[in-house]
Amino acid sequence: MTHTETPQPEFTLTPSDVASIATKRGVWPFWADRIRSMADHGQTITGRVHGDRTISPYTAVRVTKANQWPLAGTIALTRQDGAKVRLLFTQDQFDVEVSA
């Protein structure tokens, strides 16, 4: 007799989920819309955020120094395609870094 496991759908997070998780972990709620917007940009693989695009949803969120974000610390995300996305503030501007 052969045992076959039914594949479970992979858990994914939306940009709104990312913002909610970050604020629950200590980021000041004032930044929730900025985090959501940055996460929306970070999940885009091809195309434009406000147009046709291909996205890869997030599967994990890590927040460091939450109570000091954005001046210190980062919000690190893992996309379904394996890419790492960092939401941070550098040189007087917000930045979304994507690495494979």
Asked, for residue 75, whether it belongs to a domain, the answer is: yes
pLDDT of 94 above 50 = yes
Structural domain for 93, as ranges: 15-46+57-99
Number of structural domains (the chain) is 1
Tell me the pLDDT tens digit for each residue of 38-75: 999 999 999 998 889 999 999 999 999 999 999 998 99
Asked, for residue 24, whether it belongs to a domain, the answer is: yes
pTM more than 0.85: yes
> Which residue in 60, 48, 64 sits closest to 13, CA to CA?
60
Burial class (CB within 10 angstroms; exposed 0-12, middle 13-18, buried 19+) of 80: middle
Asked, for residue 27, whether it belongs to a domain, the answer is: yes
Q: Do 51 and 12 meet the contact criterion of CB atoms below 8 Å apart?
A: no
Asked, for residue 39, whether it belongs to a domain, the answer is: yes
Pairing of β 84-90 and β 75-79: antiparallel
Asked, for residue 90, whether it belongs to a domain, the answer is: yes
Asked, for residue 63, whether it belongs to a domain, the answer is: yes
Asked, for residue 67, whether it belongs to a domain, the answer is: yes
Provide the percentage of residues in the chain whose pLDDT is more than 70.
Answer: 91
Asked, for residue 5, whether it belongs to a domain, the answer is: no
